[in-house]
Amino acid sequence: MADYKAPLRDMRFVLNEVFAVSKLWAQLPGLAEVVDEDTAAAILEEAGKVTGGTIAPLNRSGDEQGCSWDNGVVSTPAGFLQAYKTYAEGGWVGVGGDPQFGGMGMPKAISAQVEEMVNSANLSFGLYPMLTAGACLSINAHASEELKERYLPNMYAGVWAGSMCLTEPHAGTDLGIIRTKAEPQADGSYKISGTKIFITGGEHDLTENIIHLVLAKLPDAPAGPKGISLFLVPKVLVNADGSLGEKNSLSCGSIEHKMGIKASATCVMNFDGATGWIVDAPNKGLAAMFTMMNYERLGVGIQGLSLGERSYQSAVEYARERIQSRAPTGPVAKDKAADPIIVHPDVRRMLLTMKALNEGGRAFSSYVAMQLDTAKYSEDPTTRKRAEELVALLTPVAKAFLTDMALETTVHGQQIFGGHGYIREWGQEQLVRDCRITQIYEGTNGIQALDLVGRKVIGSGGAFYKHFADEIKAFTDSADTELAEFVEPLKAAIANLEQMTADLLERAKVNPNEAGAASVEYLQVFGYTAYAYMWALMARTALAKQAEDDFYVSKLGTARFFFARILPRIHSLTAAVKAGSESLYLLDAAQF
């Protein structure tokens, strides 16, 4: 496998040239004082060094060795502990954290690029700081000042880690039926009892403490999701002076043996009257959890993008070097027995598909990150509300579409290697295995599609969708004629999505099955249309600069490929949406 090299040039292109993100930062009081274009460039450069030089070399060995469990003790693979210390000492765990508690205070548009780099380098490794950052988000937004001051500094510093304990053996997506209980104590604490499964980083040897955020129900809680509360439950209790005390009453019952991400400890966690403290108010646990979820679901989408990027880097290097057969037009490498496989149309189709989906995904994830920054930092209520609604709309698309495209991309990379892609030594099969989980955790992609259609589109009466559609139409209406080759298909795509949305809103009023029947294909059409917008924006910049650098020529060529060969996928997907729900209900359960 090729050595991983962070795509810094493309990251700078997206942030600085396409979105001019430093102008946004200058307008947001919480960011104007902490980050500018030069600061961002320096941070990304350093992140590229640590991820490529320290973390990436552990990817294959970590997969082969995996985590081990021995009587409740979980050990990570060789090299992980030292690499984690290096990563933590660089401040990377707290790159987006609140500076008041020791975080770096960077915007999501920057931390998203760092996430891409660490997950491209080693997805299993990247999950440990990701879960810590997610737990910190919820604590910082919803916990008391006392809890924030006690726990956040060490978590941002990477001295302590975090986990999110949501899922139970009988309760995955339907968290309203969880059974974990929280009993109030006279001193204001709670005793937490129950079992959680699939807990990423629930136990490991990378940090001296792990701070679990646990969903549980109080004795008098109302039924369903309205009765869920969130509790902070440390692995090791913390004394009043900040030192570590005795071990809490919790344990890791086992770790899962998985298809991929084998160096990430996926744990069964048992809470046996463990001491915890409530985060936010009673029965407000879902709100606290969803503060983290908007960031984490984008983060999972970025994980998919990361694996697609790693797969592409290896595949394009291999395609330039591997010689097999002659080009259809005649010998290219006349001094060799055969031509490099990059001359063959099908190999070029796969490489360009990977490139177009990766670069479109990087632009889209950065765009969503910018909306998160605006929603968090803007002082204008109208601007903030619009950004919040865009985040709500686009988060399920970012999670599901990026990861669906990532599986396609990693499989293309494996296919380019042929038989070598199927065996371990080249690394491509690991990327396919690791990628598969991204479509499942943090809410399966089918659930994301239901969320998009049911809650965000139909639930808002189309209002959230209108923000995005109006922005695209404003762009196409104002675009110069020289952009016509990109703007005209984008116009057709948004008109198609507009009509599909209107039809779905009407059909759902009559038949409740319509939303679920259309949801996955609708999300896919939405995703391809969103990527078309990203590619039109990138083409506008590249067109103006194509004489300066081959980078822009490559960008334009990839944009043309996207519009010619990938965007037309929306037509068959649209036909499926229009077909409605009837054919899904022609069979009784016994007839399957």
- 206 contacts 80 by C-beta, under 8 angstroms: yes
List the one residue out of 261, 203, 256 whose CA is nearest residue 62: 261
Phi, psi of 255 (to 5 degrees): -120, 155
State whether residue 237 is helix, strand or coil.
strand
List the one residue out of 279, 175, 190 whose CA is nearest residue 226: 175
Alpha helix segments (H runs only) across 254-380? 285-321, 345-377
Rounded Cα gap, residues 556 and 256, in angstroms: 45
List the structure tokens of 477.
């209406």
442 catalytic? Reply is: yes
List the structure tokens of 83.
């690499």
- Give kind and range of the element (H or E) at residue 196: strand 190-200
A 10 A CB-CB count for 10 gives 19
Q: Quick one: angle between helices 37-50 and 108-121, nearest 10?
A: 20
Cα 245–Cα 247–Cα 249 angle in degrees, nearest 5:
135
Candidate list 359, 389, 429, 442, residue with the active-site label: 442
Alpha-carbon separation of residue 200 from 265, 268, 291 (angstroms): 6, 9, 18
A 10 A CB-CB count for 239 gives 11
Phi-psi region for residue 45, left (φ > 0), alpha (ψ -120 to 50) or beta?
A: alpha
Cα 272–Cα 184–Cα 199 angle in degrees, nearest 5:
40
- 79 contacts 90 by C-beta, under 8 angstroms: no
List the structure tokens of 354.
């990977």
Rounded Cα gap, residues 277 and 248, in angstroms: 13
Rounded Cα gap, residues 386 and 78, in angstroms: 47
Rounded Cα gap, residues 354 and 318, in angstroms: 14
- 497 contacts 526 by C-beta, under 8 angstroms: yes
List the one residue out of 554, 557, 311 whose CA is nearest residue 429: 311
List the one residue out of 296, 285, 132 whose CA is nearest residue 215: 285
**How many alpha carbons lie under 13 Å from residue 440 in its C-beta half-sphere?**
12
State whether residue 403 is helix, strand or coil.
helix
List the one residue out of 248, 269, 279, 276 whose CA is nearest residue 183: 276
Instruction: Concatenate the DSSP letters of all residues of 488-557 into one string.
Output: HHHHHHHHHHHHHHHHHHHHHHH-THHHHHHHHHHHHHHHHHHHHHHHHHHHHHHHHHTTT-HHHHHHHH
Catalytic residues: 442
